[in-house]
Amino acid sequence: PRNAYRAPDGVVRIAGVDVRELARTYGTPLFVIDEADFKSRCAEYAEAFDDPALVHYASKAFLCTEIARWVAAQGLSLDICSGGELAIAQRADFPPERITFHGNNKSTAELEAAVEAGVGTIVLDSFFEIARLSDVAARHGITQKVLVRVTVGVEAHTHEFIATAHEDQKFGFSLAAGNAAEAVRRVLNAPSLELVGLHSHIGSQIFDADGFEVAARRVIGLIAELAKEHGDELVQQLSTVDLGGGFGIAYTDRDNPPPPAQMITQIREIVRKECEFAGLPVPRIAGEPGRAIAGPGTVTLYEVGTVKDVALGDDAVRRYVSVDGGMSDNIRTALYDAAYDCRLVSRASDDGQPQQVGAALSRVVGKHCESGDIVVRDCWLPDTLAPGDLLAVAATGAYCYSMASNYNRQPRPAVVAVRNGSARLLLRRETNEDMLRLEVS
């Protein structure tokens, strides 16, 4: 978080709030959001895209009512991909015209809920969905604005599970196979649908503009093709090109992502040149950052429960530090082999320094009943680490709470926001009673 610092007593404060006090008040594991950090990243993207409404915060990274309110107040738009995310947006009174609804298998009920809520744009992902939404909109007597999601065939250099624009995956209409052009034809023939642009999302945790540039070129190439087939009127209608999310963040000191403005300026410049070259009007370029807004400003606080040294042979030892959460609140290490960093935050420490006297190479693990339950694979922690110490894992604001589970019937952690020296509970800790409430026999 931008507003975290280690005070002279060694204790870390976030936005002026002592982490020990947070742990005492709210318990651990605990997600702590630096509110000013989150909002400043919204503002940075708003500036880079030249218009806050062109930045669609990707809810899937993390959404709760208060987050939706922050995003709304910053003037950003909201990308949702389920009826559940829509329900939270509605609870926050998020302006529906600034919501974009994604997904490869939205149910009829979800489409109806979106149409009834007045969701601004729905991103079409299959031929079945074009027919389905066309029906729903007609039944409700409205004309629904839509984007067509195009699979541009880019290999994003990221983990296989989070790359989305190569051909062999489930999202979008293939450009190469001509499906995207066919999707546009069908939408144009559906009187209850109004095509307002094209969409592409190439993947996640991306550190350079190359993939986005290829995607932008191909989308513009498609617009040029469509212009030949349907005339200039259609080109005017395709006023938005949404290039999706995927802007990478630093999880450890070894990551070095470019500042958002740099990448986005580069992409917009390419689009401008390509359009000029093709004699097309320059569309509005929208994006959908999730991780880059929500990720960096949040830490997870854990309490250390046990410390165990395991002999690896040849005098080597691995120190296993067990904390009170794990893969149920952060599945990313187990699922994507993601790298995280952590620090002792409740007292003075020189941790994080490899090979330093008094530092032990450690593995931070959770409390779940499987050995893959690793939170931080390798980090240097003080030799004196003991039960009761608090550890903070950095950059856990995206895809940690939102992918949390009740594995081993572990209740989900609480989430607090800190700002100007005070803390506010956003999501209370789940209880056993919450889980037992689902039991009906």
Tokens of 237: 């209608």
Beta bridge partners of 298: 33
Would you state the structure tokens that stand for residue 41, as one six-digit string?
A: 């990243």
Residues 338-377, one symbol each (x = binds ligand LLP by CB under 6 A, - = not), give ----------------------------------------
The stretch near ligand LLP (CB under 6 A) out of 67-75, 186-194, 222-230, 238-246 is: 238-246
Contact in structure between 331 and 340 (CB atoms under 8 Å): no
Q: Which two tokens stand for residue 49?
A: 């895209």
Question: Under DSSP, is residue 30 helix (H, G, I), strand (E, B) or coil?
Answer: strand
Catalytic member of 42, 64, 81, 369: 369
Q: Which of 211, 289, 366, 397 binds ligand LLP (CB under 6 A)?
A: 289
Q: Which residue has the tokens 């250390």?
A: 304
Does the annotation place 332 within a ligand binding site? yes
Three-state DSSP string of 84-99: HHHHHHHHCCCCHHHE
Q: Which of 98, 332, 343, 412 binds ligand LLP (CB under 6 A)?
A: 332
Q: Judge whether 275 counts as a catalytic residue.
A: no
288 marked as part of a ligand binding site: yes
Q: Is 120 in the site for ligand LLP (CB under 6 A)?
A: no
CB-based contacts of 226, cutoff 8 Å, min separation 6: 181, 184, 234, 235, 238
The DSSP-derived string for 64-75 is: -HHHHHHHHHTT
> Count of CB atoms within 10 A of residue 161's CB?
11
13 versus 102: smaller Cβ distance to ligand LLP:
102
Could you tell me the smallest distance in angstroms from the CB atom of residue 135 to ligand LLP?
24
Does 416 participate in binding ligand LLP (rule CB under 6 A)?
no
The label of the residue with tokens 């870390």 reads 12
Q: Residues 151-180 vs ligand LLP: string with x where CB under 6 A?
A: -----------x------------------
Stretch touching ligand LLP by CB under 6 A, among 55-63, 125-133, 185-193, 214-222: 55-63
Does residue 102 touch ligand LLP according to CB under 6 A?
A: yes
Instruction: Please tell me whether residue 288 binds ligand LLP under the rule CB under 6 A.
Output: yes
Strand intervals (E) in 95-226? 99-101, 121-124, 144-151, 173-174, 193-199
Angle of helix 127-139 relative to helix 108-117, nearest 10 degrees? 50
Does residue 204 interact with ligand LLP by CB under 6 A? yes
Q: What token pair was written down for 45?
A: 């993207």
Radius of gyration of the chain (CA): 23
Which of 17, 61, 71, 122 forms a contact with ligand LLP (CB under 6 A)?
61
Reported as type and span, the H/E element at residue 241 is strand 240-242
Q: Is 79 in the site for ligand LLP (CB under 6 A)?
A: yes
CB 350 within 8 A of CB 311: no
Sequential DSSP letters for 358-380: TEEEEEEE-SSSSTT-EEEEEEE
The stretch among 178-186, 285-293, 314-322, 411-419 that binds ligand LLP (CB under 6 A) is 285-293
Strands 342-344 and 359-365: unpaired
Amino acid, single-letter form, for residue 8: P
Q: How far is the CB of 346 from ligand LLP (least distance, A)?
A: 28
Q: How deeply is 289 buried, as exposed, middle or buried, from its count of CB atoms within 10 A (0-12, 13-18, 19+)? A: buried
Question: Of 13 and 291, which CB lies nearer to ligand LLP in the complex structure?
Answer: 291
26 binds ligand LLP (CB under 6 A): no
Q: Is 326 in the site for ligand LLP (CB under 6 A)?
A: no
13 in contact with ligand LLP (CB under 6 A): no
Number of residues that bind ligand LLP (CB under 6 A): 22
Out of 29, 246, 260, 326, point to the residue binding ligand LLP (CB under 6 A).
Answer: 246
| Calpha distance 55→41 (Å, rounded) | 11
Mark the segment that binds ligand LLP (CB under 6 A) among 12-20, 54-62, 220-228, 385-393.
54-62
Residue with Cβ nearer ligand LLP (102 or 106): 102
H runs (alpha helix) in 279-417: 291-294, 332-336
C-alpha pair distances (Å), 124 with each of 103, 145, 195, 196, 198: 8, 10, 10, 12, 9
289 labelled as ligand-binding?
A: yes
Least distance from ligand LLP to the Cβ atom of residue 220, Å: 19
User: Of 45, 62, 380, 399, which one interacts with ligand LLP (CB under 6 A)?
Assistant: 399
Which residues are part of a known binding site for substrate? 291, 332, 336, 370, 399
The residue ranges that bind ligand LLP (CB under 6 A) are 58, 60-61, 79, 102, 162, 201, 204-205, 244-247, 288-292, 332, 336, 398-399
Known catalytic residues are 369
Which residues are part of a known binding site for pyridoxal 5'-phosphate? 246, 288-291, 399
Which residues are part of a known binding site? 246, 288-291, 332, 336, 370, 399
